[in-house]
Structure 1
Amino acid sequence: MSDASGFTRRAVLGSGLGGAAFMAAPHLQARTGDPQALGYRGFSDRGTQAFLGIRYARAARFAPPRREGLPKQATRAIEFGPLCPQRNPMTPRMSEDCLFLNIWTPDARPSARRPVMVYFHGGAYNWGSVTDPLTQGPHLAAQADAVVVTVNHRLNLFGYGWLQPLGERFRHSGNAGQLDLICALEWVRDHIAAFGGDPGRVMVFGQSGGGAKIATLMAMPEADGLFHSAATMSGQQVTAQGPANGWQRTLVLLERLGLPEGKGAADALLALPFERLVDALDATDPILGGSLYFGPVLDMVHLHRHPFWPDAAPQSLAIPMILGNTLDETRAFIRADGPVVRDLDWSNLAERLGPQIRIDLPTPWVVEQYRRRFPDWSVEQVFYAATTAGRSWPGQVIEADARAHAGAEGTWVYQLDRPSPIDPARGAAHTDDLPYVFGTLDAEGSYAGTGRRAREISDAMIGAFAGLAHEGRPGLDAWQPYRLPERQTLVIGEDRIRMVDDPRRWERELWGRAPYIQPGS
């Protein structure tokens, strides 16, 4: 174990990474004298040039995307494009015509040649938005001295529904959303120089489902060479969805819609208004329970192997990568005041653990092990630690170990331990690293606070991510690469940032006694 609380940024990143965290309001304000690039008229968003709602492709329902040409006349780029149709959207504007991206740049001149940071949003492949105030890019672009791009794409049934058994016209359906991301990266490769970006230095990063999308791209031949570094934040994809499970989900959807199998169902799926299809997504998932899940499919058309099983995909090994997680992941989506945790006590803990974990161990035994190891913990502490370690964390361990075992170019792992100062009961939960990386500490939905410590952590994380984008290794000198058997991990706490070898070894070994089953696969 080594203390790295005195981290420094490398000089190559310059003063652009130095100053205080940005505290601007999250709303957008256009100004006169809008900057232009490739015929797009943008605006100044909190001091950074922005171009929003740029179309990168069009796509017919369930078909692969078709790259869109550049506009032939001046085009306003001052508002986000619509979201893919989904349940409970963040904003009401939805359309199947949703293939748009957004750009923030410190300098839109082609000679600027800054690295490019492309963000894919979370939402488990089924929902999500790039309009989230937490993940808007003006502060990150300015402080990281990089061009920031965020991408809309098709989700749920529209992006990942497995319909190939219904006929050849659905050949690409199981991975259409991934093909959208590939198409967006091709657009970046061909056009980002006009916005001041360097197409030879493209970093992809994503949180939760966005990280899982990146892991999947790292096993897709069509994505090979489109990005040069990667960072995933609480988002892993060890295995993809199997076609048999995908087809079970499709059959449930057809039943919910009142459609028989066969040509009639195929025609109806292509003709029904999207609102009908979205309404049917509330059907119960036959594999996971809850509402229907759709994710990338091992279709042998675009995805020929699992991303990290039985090993790391060979095409990914030359890509330097950051892998991150938070200490209390499940506190974000298993509410302390909800039915799972309400009235929780030692008598019912084992029973309630079972449906929440993805590693099949006897839950009474698991509870006994935690109580013996941590006798002072409350029942709620044991519940959240066990669900995080048995559900949300194992995929990252598998991916980091697989990369280390294969001798990948470079892997760096972090763990956010700092609890929220706004809601201490939340701990360090899923999504809580987002405002630190984007510099959106005061945005709606941030639990980071805006005090000195929050700004210090944000500066450090932006510096680390920017370093990966600029030069292929984190911009924190003391961050050691992850290797076996040490498993060096950057632990980001309330008091200091430090390197720790294998910080949760006991939990890793406990849950490593049985195989991890990727949710949805």
Structure 2
Amino acid sequence: MHTIASTRQGKVRGRVRNGVAAYLGIPYAAPPFGDRRFGAPAPAEPWEGVRDALEFGPTAPQRPYRSPLDQLIPTLDVPGDGCLNLNVWTPEGGDGGRPVMVWIHGGSLRNGSTALPLYDGSAFARDGVVLVSVNYRLGVEGFGVFPDAPDNRGLLDQIAALRWVRDNIAAFGGDPDHVTVFGESAGAISIAALTTSPHAQGQFRRAILQSGPPHTVPRGEGARAVRSMAKELGVPATAEAFAAVDRGRLLDVQDTVVGGADPTGGGPGFHIVVDDDVVPADPAPTSVDLLLGANREEYRLWFVPTGTVERISGLTLRLALLKFRTPGRVARLYRASRPGARPGEILGEMATDMLLRGPLNRLADSRLRASTPQAPSAGSIPETASAAAFDAISPDAFGSAPQAPRTFVYEFAWRSPVMDLGACHALEIGFVFDTLRSSEELTGTDAPQPLADAMHRAWVSFATTGDPGWAEWSARRPVMVFDDPDSGVVFAPRDEELRAWL
């Protein structure tokens, strides 16, 4: 069955299945090609009649992940120029004013698309949320730094999509004043920048950062990938010169230069840069509520399938610690708490904490209320407790504090049996979206549905009420640990190791 909604650009035809209306491939900006290539996003052109929104729109130009990651994280290529498109899933019928969630996918700012079945928004719509997923420019076209083009073009695309949501989402039953943005990895890093960008202020009231901390670099550092690509191509490092290169050739050289980089191993890549416009050098503190967290063994996605965890010897570990000027006391602390761990596992754990979990904790700390509530006395709460037990504590135990943006922290700890990936990077996405059947490359065929129910419910609750179901961040450092068979709040997990990096 088909259904029709009206946007400011024209009418779109979607499809209804099982009580959920899906509108796919709606343009939110003009195709960024021809004269618009390497430029800021331009408004989408209006159309006459009713436009079919029944299939996913074109994806941003990209190359697949390198082996063996291509077996775990698929790449879908939908050809066409109009890659600045989005998808909407919404409950069929009923009143408007529903909460809205906007998904920004990850992929190191050079991979990914909303066409992956993993990101199907039907479960969110089933549970009363209008779900929007956004495609944006990737790689050198979205995040290459040039002297003759706007910086952070992919981020500008995301802002254009948020403005489209503000202007049009009521036609799909959503409340434009009740928007939560959420994303994973590079998507979360993008959202961290959006929370402080003056261009995105007022576009959303809540944000969820999954396995992606705030991270920006100076323009000079951000331009490294473009300089390396220009050398390979034999052209000047300008947008004008790059626009004249065949797109296939450009993607091949991009893959040569940055295809082997990963968040833990470093190497040239694409970054959000400080441009003092979209991304200010001295941003004001964000006023939105935050839910943020990471997976317990993030590093294993890159270290295990490639065999890196096996290849790292004790000597390699020592050299890596010297390279990153890691204090000896930190290394000894990680070794002592993991007596049976291999050198590669110790290095992976340290890299995860240094690059991801630590920065996320520091972000949460920076948002602690100006008047910190008095914590319950030591011993009144065990070091581990269920969410229900924590909620049973009288609010009076914490005293009173002025209203301020709230922060909630989680950790995903369930271990995948696939290739010994454990609780690796990206594993939680299928649980959040309640799309486990579409995430079997990472989760296997027997992932626990009750854990997906719990995690999906928490995300819906946060978007709907601002409360995911556990205590907000405080001096007690409560972390909701999602695991199977038991999930619950843990206070200050591995705090000694995380504080060692300060």
So what's the TM-score if we normalise by structure 2?
Answer: 0.83
Alignment length, in residue pairs? 450
Deviation digits for residues 409-444 of structure 1 (CA, Å, limit 9, x no counterpart): 100000011212x43822111111111110001114
Query: Are positions 1:50 and 2:50 aligned together?
Result: no
Matched-pair contact (CA < 8 Å) for 1:336–1:342: no
Q: How far apart are the structure 1 equivalents of 2:240 and 2:316? A: 48
* Residue in 1 that maps onto 2:409: 413
Matched-pair contact (CA < 8 Å) for 1:115–1:146: yes
Matched-pair contact (CA < 8 Å) for 2:58–2:78: yes
Once the 2 structures are TM-superposed, how far is the Cα of residue 389 of structure 1 from its aligned partner?
Answer: 1.7
Query: Are positions 1:395 and 2:359 aligned together?
Result: yes
Matched-pair contact (CA < 8 Å) for 1:118–1:202: yes
User: Counterpart of 2:133 in 1: which secondary structure?
Assistant: strand
Q: How far apart are the structure 2 equivalents of 1:91 and 1:354? A: 40
Q: What residue identity is the alignment partner of 2:423?
A: A
* Residue in 1 that maps onto 2:60: 84
Q: How far apart are the structure 2 equivalents of 1:290 and 1:232? A: 21
Q: What residue identity is the alignment partner of 1:34?
A: H
Query: Are positions 1:351 and 2:322 aligned together?
Result: no
CA spacing shift, 1:87–1:450, aligned 2, 3 Å: closer
User: Counterpart of 1:442 in 2: which secondary structure?
Assistant: helix
* Residue in 1 that maps onto 2:132: 149
Once the 2 structures are TM-superposed, how far is the Cα of residue 377 of structure 1 from its aligned partner?
Answer: 3.5
Q: What residue identity is the alignment partner of 1:481?
A: E
CA spacing shift, 1:46–1:335, aligned 2, 3 Å: farther
The 5-angstrom pairing of residues 6-405 of structure 1 reads 33-38=1-6, 39-45=11-17, 47-58=19-30, 59=32, 60-88=36-64, 90-107=75-92, 111-143=95-127, 145-164=128-147, 167=148, 170=149, 172=150, 174-238=151-215, 240-260=216-236, 265-284=238-257, 292-305=268-281, 313-314=284-285, 316-317=286-287, 319-338=288-307, 340-351=308-319, 360-362=325-327, 366-404=330-368
User: Counterpart of 2:454 in 1: which secondary structure?
Assistant: helix
Q: How far apart are the structure 1 equivalents of 2:107 and 2:20? A: 27
Q: How far apart are the structure 1 equivalents of 2:250 and 2:428? A: 33
Q: How far apart are the structure 1 equivalents of 2:239 and 2:338? A: 55
CA spacing shift, 1:63–1:195, aligned 2, 3 Å: same
Q: How far apart are the structure 1 equivalents of 2:342 and 2:88? A: 46
Matched-pair contact (CA < 8 Å) for 2:179–2:204: yes
User: Counterpart of 1:413 in 2: which secondary structure?
Assistant: strand
Deviation digits for residues 465-509 of structure 1 (CA, Å, limit 9, x no counterpart): 1122112222x2xx00001x3211111222322112111112102
Unaligned runs of 5+ in 1: 1-32, 308-312, 513-521
User: Counterpart of 1:245 in 2: which secondary structure?
Assistant: helix
Deviation digits for residues 14-37 of structure 1 (CA, Å, limit 9, x no counterpart): xxxxxxxxxxxxxxxxxxx31221
Q: How far apart are the structure 1 equivalents of 2:185 and 2:137? A: 16
Q: How far apart are the structure 2 equivalents of 1:279 and 1:287? A: 15
CA spacing shift, 1:426–1:323, aligned 2, 3 Å: same
CA spacing shift, 1:298–1:52, aligned 2, 3 Å: same
Once the 2 structures are TM-superposed, how far is the Cα of residue 184 of structure 1 from its aligned partner?
Answer: 0.6
Deviation digits for residues 320-374 of structure 1 (CA, Å, limit 9, x no counterpart): 1100111000101222552x2234444443335677xxx6415x66443322233
Unaligned runs of 5+ in 2: 66-74, 372-403
C-alpha RMSD over aligned residues: 2.6
So what's the TM-score if we normalise by structure 1?
Answer: 0.80
* Residue in 1 that maps onto 2:472: 481
Q: How far apart are the structure 2 equivalents of 1:296 and 1:98? A: 20
CA spacing shift, 1:117–1:354, aligned 2, 3 Å: farther
User: Counterpart of 1:35 in 2: which secondary structure?
Assistant: strand
Q: How far apart are the structure 2 equivalents of 1:482 and 1:450? A: 34
Once the 2 structures are TM-superposed, how far is the Cα of residue 291 of structure 1 from its aligned partner?
Answer: 6.5
Once the 2 structures are TM-superposed, how far is the Cα of residue 159 of structure 1 from its aligned partner?
Answer: 1.1
CA spacing shift, 1:381–1:256, aligned 2, 3 Å: closer
CA spacing shift, 1:399–1:275, aligned 2, 3 Å: same
Q: What residue identity is the alignment partner of 2:357?
A: W
User: Counterpart of 1:401 in 2: which secondary structure?
Assistant: helix
User: Counterpart of 1:104 in 2: which secondary structure?
Assistant: strand
Matched-pair contact (CA < 8 Å) for 1:115–1:147: yes
Where relative contact order (Cα < 8 A, 6+ residues apart) is larger, the structure is 1
